[in-house]
A and B are shown apart, each in its own frame.
Chain A
Amino acid sequence: MRNWILIICFYSSFAAFTAASATAAGMSSRILIINSDKSVSKYAIIHREFKSALKFKIFEINMQGKTFTPNMLKQRVSSLHPDLIYAIGSKAYIQTSAVIKNQPLIFSSMINWRRFRLNNNTYGVALELQVDMPLYLYSYLFPKIRRIGVLYSPRYNQQWFNNAMLQAQEVGISLYGQALNQPEEISRALKILLPKVDAIWLISDPIALYDKNSMRTIFAKAAARKKPIFAYNTLFMKYGAVLTIAADIPTMGRQAAGMAEDILNQEQVDEKVQPPAGSHVILNLKKVHEYGIKINHAALSSVEEIIQE
């Protein structure tokens, strides 16, 4: 009996020791942040949030205004011996992924991350929200808006649209799509779409948003019929969008930090590239009143920013 107790005691101490050394090893790990341009406010915010969420030793490279040849960057990175690298922005990711071999690399703040080549050791936080998120908020904020129109090019967004249609049904919304093959079709497409829908959902589509003119046409035609536009980027607010839902920048930094912690502590990472965990909602309350849209007051607490004039 005494022997058994001794064996159990030995194994427990051994397990505790192993766990403690793993944590200690985690703490002594080195992280390198490579920022595409720290003078860009959103990159600076994400950088700050990432750094403040971690207790590891952190090194930084700011690529702002600098040209790094692959060799220079390789030398600089290897001189710092990082256990993990965090690349903020496409420039940092493209250059870093080309020169590193074994270290885990986390990316964030890259528009359409699928365009980039990912390695086995690549992890990331996408910039694009899951379609469920905006659809849920449309339904929650505007209980009377049940038919939403989307302009999309089948070449780039057919798959996205099919998925969005299914998700929309889950929240009681009918999605009406109008396919576009070239930007010249926008006016005609809106003529068909606008009478059928209560709102337009502007998505990141290279044909629908071909240039400033296409964008102006969409906003002008929707405004003429008092149909609200919901968009994916805060920039559309100045063109007259009623609502924008975008990824929340500070949350992305904290999320990437959590991933870094998991990787360094050798914990399982379920999704190598995750959608952003936080969203930032801006609502133009003046336009809501102007268009006579019924709003769910209880849902207003989901809004981060409001525009009144």
Chain B
Amino acid sequence: MDENFIHRHSFIGRRAIIILTCLVLMLFSWQLEARTLYFYNPESNINDFRSVKRLFNRYLLSATKSRRYRFQPFKNAKIFERFLKKPRKRNEVFLLPSWQYQKLMKQKAFRKLKPIFVATINNNPTYTKVLITKKNIRSMKQLRRKRIASAGDRNYSKKTIQFIGAKNGLHYRTQFRILTVPKDVDALMSVLFGMAQGALISHISLNSFSRINKRKYRLLRQQGESQAIMLPIVVAYQPIKKKSTKRLLSAIQAMPDSSRGKEILGLLGWNGWKKVTPRDLQLLEVK
């Protein structure tokens, strides 16, 4: 075979390999720079994550003008925690309930995870839960071993009710039965129509109910209130070095400024963000 021919072909082959390598590297760096907001919140009512994901990704695309930014929800706490520990997730952003963050802070592996924003409802980063019954229940003592309707995490609801009970003179281990319902309004209706004797709902939900149905609201009695609970927080590992991480955080912060962003926040249960302050950190009991 002609030597020139072989030489020419090996030269072309080498060039092809270099171009291919460049392409692969480009693709790899593109992948590397892709950023995701990972979400876990059992308090959130929405259970059709496919549609929220689509809505969120569409928002991120319009806010960043790039397809590299994504939203990924989780349904299971344990899988979410395992995922958080992975070293390659160190440049990603996470959105989780404040109580779960407090729980994570007890583990060394998560110490560098710092809160950036906290969700707000009408500019308030905290909310309280109230225990309500019908008017005929005069004290919490009458609720011992009775059924309380509550949306959200069952154990967390139990602890909150026990905390309210302790403030009302009950032993902190007093037993209540929990009926888990999808949302606060279901818990409210359960009390009104006798499916449960009490309901643990957010103060905000009770206020909305009092505005919309004054007559039914007058049938209810508030037995007690929880401590202020911080709304979900956006956290990231410190220090934040990657530009793409900062860009994702900016897009999240800008959500209340667009109608699509507002819609997503509404679906998740709040309507704005604020930067975490030292006072918020105090409330989270994080030094």
Known interface pairs A132-B192, A136-B213, A274-B195; A305-B179 also in contact (CB < 8 Å): no
What is the CA–CA distance of A285 and B266 in the complex, to the nearest angstrom? 13
Residues of chain B within 8 A (CB-CB) of A255 are 179, 195
Q: Would you call A170 and B181 a contact (CB within 8 A)?
A: no
B171 smallest CB distance to A (angstroms): 16
What is the CA–CA distance of A133 and B192 in the complex, to the nearest angstrom? 11
Q: Would you call B182 and A251 a contact (CB within 8 A)?
A: yes
What is the CA–CA distance of A11 and B46 in the complex, to the nearest angstrom? 51
Q: Would you call B263 and A297 a contact (CB within 8 A)?
A: yes
Most buried by A among B45, B181, B192, B268: B181
A184 smallest CB distance to B (angstroms): 37
A131 smallest CB distance to B (angstroms): 11
- Among the stretches B16-24, B49-57, B83-91, B277-285, the one at the interface with A is B49-57
What is the CA–CA distance of A297 and B194 in the complex, to the nearest angstrom? 30
A58 smallest CB distance to B (angstroms): 19
Question: Which chain A residues in 172-218 approach chain B with CB under 8 Å?
Answer: 172
B266 smallest CB distance to A (angstroms): 3
Residues of chain A within 8 A (CB-CB) of B213 are 132, 136, 170-171
Question: Which chain B residues in 253-271 approach chain A with CB under 8 Å?
Answer: 262-263, 265-271
Q: Would you call A251 and B45 a contact (CB within 8 A)?
A: no
Select from chain B the residue with minimum beta-carbon distance to A265.
Answer: B145
Q: Would you call A258 and B271 a contact (CB within 8 A)?
A: no
Q: Is B114 an interface residue (CB 8 A)?
A: no
Q: Would you call A297 and B45 a contact (CB within 8 A)?
A: no
Q: Which of B51, B182, B267 contacts A279 (CB 8 A)?
A: B182
Q: Would you call A297 and B262 a contact (CB within 8 A)?
A: yes
Q: Is B185 an interface residue (CB 8 A)?
A: yes
Select from chain B the residue with minimum beta-carbon distance to A276.
Answer: B195
Chain A 208-245, CB-CB to B under 8 Å as 1, else 0, gives 00000000000000000000000000000000000000
Residues of chain A within 8 A (CB-CB) of B183 are 279, 301-302, 304
Q: Would you call A132 and B267 a contact (CB within 8 A)?
A: no
Q: Would you call B194 and A270 a contact (CB within 8 A)?
A: yes
Residues of chain B within 8 A (CB-CB) of A307 are 51
Q: Would you call B55 and A277 a contact (CB within 8 A)?
A: no
Q: Would you call B189 and A303 a contact (CB within 8 A)?
A: no
Q: Would you call B215 and A305 a contact (CB within 8 A)?
A: no
Q: Is B206 an interface residue (CB 8 A)?
A: no
Chain A interface residue bracket vs B = 35 or more
Chain A 64-75, CB-CB to B under 8 Å as 1, else 0, gives 000000000000
Residues of chain A within 8 A (CB-CB) of B190 are 277
Residues of chain B within 8 A (CB-CB) of A308 are 51, 54-55
Q: Which of B47, B268, B269 contacts A304 (CB 8 A)?
A: B47
B287 smallest CB distance to A (angstroms): 32
Known interface pairs A275-B193, A298-B266, A303-B46; A172-B212 also in contact (CB < 8 Å): yes
What is the CA–CA distance of A20 and B12 in the complex, to the nearest angstrom? 86
Most buried by A among B186, B192, B271: B186
Chain A 267-309, CB-CB to B under 8 Å as 1, else 0, gives 0001100110111100001000000000001111111111110
Give the number of residues in B that approach A within 8 Å (Cβ atoms). Answer: 44
A178 smallest CB distance to B (angstroms): 26
Chain A 127-139, CB-CB to B under 8 Å as 1, else 0, gives 0001011001101
Q: Is A59 an interface residue (CB 8 A)?
A: no
Q: Is B149 an interface residue (CB 8 A)?
A: yes
Select from chain A the residue with minimum beta-carbon distance to B191.
Answer: A277
Q: Which of B51, B179, B181, B208 contacts A298 (CB 8 A)?
A: B208
Select from chain A the residue with minimum beta-carbon distance to B208.
Answer: A140
Q: Is B168 an interface residue (CB 8 A)?
A: no
Q: Would you call A305 and B185 a contact (CB within 8 A)?
A: no
Q: Is A60 an interface residue (CB 8 A)?
A: no
Q: Would you call A304 and B179 a contact (CB within 8 A)?
A: no
Known interface pairs A170-B215, A277-B186, A297-B266; A258-B55 also in contact (CB < 8 Å): no
Which 8 A-B pairs have CB atoms at the shortest separation, nearest pair first? A300-B266, A297-B266, A301-B269, A305-B48, A277-B195, A278-B181, A306-B51, A277-B190
24 A-B contacts (beta carbon < 8 Å): A136-B189, A137-B185, A139-B212, A140-B185, A170-B215, A248-B181, A251-B180, A271-B193, A271-B194, A275-B189, A275-B195, A278-B182, A298-B121, A298-B266, A298-B271, A301-B183, A301-B266, A301-B268, A302-B185, A304-B45, A305-B46, A305-B47, A305-B51, A306-B51
Known contacts A139-B212, A251-B182, A258-B147; can you find 10 more A-B pairs with CB under 8 A?
A170-B216, A171-B213, A261-B177, A274-B194, A275-B193, A297-B271, A299-B266, A302-B183, A304-B47, A304-B48
